[in-house]
Amino acid sequence: MAIERIAVTAEVDNGLDSPISGHFGHCRAFIVSTVENGEIVNVETIYNGGHTSCAQPVNLLAENGVNVLITLGMGGRPFMAAQQVGLKVIRGRAGTVREAVEMYIEGSAQPMGAEGLCGGGRAHH
C-alpha cells in the first residue's frame, strides 16, 4: 500500500479525537494523518485560514501533499477544484477524525457524491 496523506475537516484542533466539521470551507482545521501500510504513522494540523476563493483551501491541502480529503459536506466549486488537483474526496460521517480515517483504511468509506454538495454556507450532518 502506498503512503497516503488523509485530511479530515475538524471543528477543533484535538488531533485524532477532534470532531469532524460539518463543512469543508468553514472548518477550523484539517487534521492530516499520514498512513503507511494501513497504519497511522504521523498526525499534524493545517489551519484553515480565511480564503478569498473556493479553491484556496483545496490548494493548501494539495501543497501539503494531501491526496485524500474526508468531510461531511462541501460546495460544488471546491469539490470541482479538488478533482482538478487529484484530491480524492470521501464523504465522512459524524464522529471523530480517528473514526473517519479508520473507516477509510478499512475500505468502508464512500466517495463524495451529489448528496454531500451544497450551495455554500450551511452545515452538513
**Span 32-62, pLDDT tens digits:** 999 999 999 999 999 987 667 778 899 999 9
Predicted confidence band of residue 121 (pLDDT cuts 50, 70, 90)? very low
In the chain, the N- to C-terminal Cα span, in Å, equals 31
Number of domains, the chain: 1
Instruction: Determine the structural domain holding residue 41 and report its residue range.
Output: 4-106
Give a yes or no: residue 113 inside a domain: no
93 vs 38: CA distance, rounded Å: 20
Half-sphere exposure of 50 (CA within 13 A, CB side): 1
Q: Assess whether pLDDT exceeds 80 at residue 111.
A: yes
Give a yes or no: residue 70 inside a domain: yes
> What pLDDT score does 122 carry?
44
Give a yes or no: residue 9 inside a domain: yes
Give a yes or no: residue 59 inside a domain: yes
Per-residue cell: 14: 484535538
Give a yes or no: residue 75 inside a domain: yes
CATH number at residue 25: 3.30.420.130
Q: Residues 82-91: what's their mean pLDDT? A: 94
What percentage of the chain exceeds 70 in pLDDT?
Answer: 89
Give a yes or no: residue 115 inside a domain: no
Per-residue cell: 25: 470551507
Give me the residues paired with residue 118 across strands. 75
> What pLDDT score does 93 carry?
86
Give a yes or no: residue 30 inside a domain: yes
Give a yes or no: residue 90 inside a domain: yes
Per-residue cell: 119: 450551495
**pTM (global) more than 0.85:** yes
